[in-house]
Amino acid sequence: MKILVFSDTHLYLPFDQKKFNFLKKIISKSDQVIINGDFFDGYMVNFNDFVNSQWNQLFSLLKSKKAVYIYGNHDKKEFSDKKVSLFSNKQTCQLELKLNNKNFLFEHGQKTRPTPDMMFKISWKNMHYGMIVVHFVRNLFIKIFGKLAVQIIFGHSNNGSKRYIKRNYKPKNNEYYIIGHNHWAEIDEKNHFAASGMILYGFAQYLTIDSMSGKITIHEEWYDR
């Protein structure tokens, strides 16, 4: 069985047909799905508007894959309501999954690397306008410079998270912590760590886990080229 783990799609409006097609493709090829946070961007779109948008064409497919939805910092639990059950079979802040004598612990990862929306009291309105600018600048930079821009912006973001996990969680030999949040996919066996990357700005990184062996694999591609 193939478990798909993706995060940081930051779905908002206007609807992106190319991103939709890509998500539909990788979800369809999986047996189970774990959405590791920031599925929609609550600073960019109202939850009801998201639920009623064309993105809802993914919902029945996600339900058929027994999707687990882990809340992130851009799709906090308080940003949504019981309609999260339209696209997920289970909702949580942390998930534990045992596969082949390995214990996988999933969470979005905002605790491991706090961001301004968590550290300061910023109004939703200010965050909304700020995120419009952030998404625009990042998207433009990545369109021009490609993967180099992705690496410059996000390539070192996992370092602090790994230090936090080592210091505070003290993982055992058979434990692996898998987070999203940092927008850069990575597998670090030494530190019992993996990150699920992002599907954003035309660039996609995500993980699959083989349920029999427990092997984690990173997948990477452009979805708008």
pLDDT tens-digit series, residues 110-169? 999 999 999 898 999 999 999 999 999 999 999 999 999 999 999 999 999 999 999 999
Model confidence at 100, pLDDT cuts 50, 70, 90, reads confident
Residues 117 and 127: their CA atoms lie apart, in Å, by 7
Residues 19 and 52: their CA atoms lie apart, in Å, by 17
- Find out whether 88 and 35 touch, Cβ atoms under 8 Å: yes
pLDDT higher than threshold 90 for residue 95? yes
What is the bridge-based pairing of β-strands 193-196 and 2-6? unpaired
The upper half-sphere exposure of residue 101, i.e. CA atoms within 13 Å in the direction of its Cβ, equals 1
- Find out whether 37 and 109 touch, Cβ atoms under 8 Å: yes
Diameter over CA atoms, the chain: 46
In terms of pTM, does the model score above 0.85?
Answer: yes
Residues 221 and 95: their CA atoms lie apart, in Å, by 27
Q: What are the φ/ψ torsions at residue 132 (nearest 5 degrees)?
A: -60, -45
What is the bridge-based pairing of β-strands 2-6 and 90-92? unpaired
* Beta-bridge partner residues of 70: 92
Place of tokens 């992705």: 150
* Average predicted confidence (pLDDT) for the chain: 97
How is residue 182 written in tokens?
Answer: 């940092």
- The pLDDT of residue 166: 95
Residues 87 and 60: their CA atoms lie apart, in Å, by 7
Of residues 1, 14, 65, 5, the one with CA closest to residue 39: 5
Neighbours of 199 (CB within 10 A): 23
Tens-digit pLDDT profile for residues 13-33 = 999 999 999 999 999 999 999
